[in-house]
Structure 1
């Protein structure tokens, strides 16, 4: 959760020196090389074919989709705004998990879920001047693909170590990420600065690999529901980092909306069983 809370500020740093397509593709390549090296060194066997579909969902959602959509959003959105919108991620994951597993949450769960969604939509519309912006659409799309990746990753982490789930997902995406990185580096300008390099390294190794290693392992040990409760503090932590690392000035609505979403998600976790 701490690793993920730094993702948006690190992405903002990375965008100071890299184009969006370069940042996302290179981070995926670097993370895949780290993961592939670990899998190779430990001689981990290739997963059975029955797991490939789930790993592909993790790859599309967590490795490619979420980083790309949030990076595009952060070109015109502040990290504080993005943190509040993506604060709905635990709730979205809970909903998709319920659909995927066939569980039937209570009416109280759905009431809290709808309330949390309403808070986020009201916040985004208010901050965007009465209508959803392009950045907001990117962020809502990122919510859906990442929630799908989390749901499938949590399911797979029950049958294989969590680090192998994200490791194989990264390796599966390498044939797409590597050519994309080559093209992006040739097309988009690169200005190497200390912040840009630090941001790239963090989103590649910290957010894309190490953070997900710990995350999937935690979900496997304590379950998706309990793990998602730990993520409730992520938006608030990101707001803190946005002030300390980026010098952003928070609108009053940002922390208020973040706390409101936190309360709604907490209710869903208490009543979903």
Structure 2
């Protein structure tokens, strides 16, 4: 998504040229290119699909809407398995229209996980609950903190349900250190994503994530925290930014790799 302006074949070539070993994919470009074709393209290039995004949106009340959401999530699990990734990222869903019942919405997420967890596990796919910044709670995700995500995930086996640690969404939380440790102890860090928090926020907050190093997030701290918690998996960069999308995609890809090396890998001088 960081370079969504690049068609999938160009993205794959760019990653190979830069020596990046894996890619996190979104369902929409995969569907556009073709599921089987996408799987073959990535595999032939020697890349690993680190995760598939996204499933979720479990909070509807109406039976027909809930059934449709579950069907779509089963399809997402099947797509993840076909792509060879073991992780499906979930954006859980916001409040239904007219509702103010946050606890009820979270319970409906748990109900959906109870049905989908075994289905995913049978196909070698883990569900990863992504807590989103509280500004998204009303319309996109009633799971706002890592603690809330873990409270849901821990109802189920770790091989079925875990969490996403995303710097953009969690950097502000003064409990995030203890919650990362908690997630690590339970083997529930299924995905680790980077994006920076920049101000002023744009009018469209969905596309306001910053390039690594441009904002307020201490990326090295997060890197060290997840490592100390035992996480040894991929590190993804996921930036929604209109400015980046308007630029040459290959340049953005190169810049992102350079920023990762500078602000995440390199030790503090």
TM-score between both structures, scaled by the size of structure 2: 0.29
The structure that is strand-richer by fraction is 2
Structure of higher RCO (CA pairs closer than 8 Å, 6+ residues apart): 1
TM-score between both structures, scaled by the size of structure 1: 0.28
The structure that is helix-richer by fraction is 1
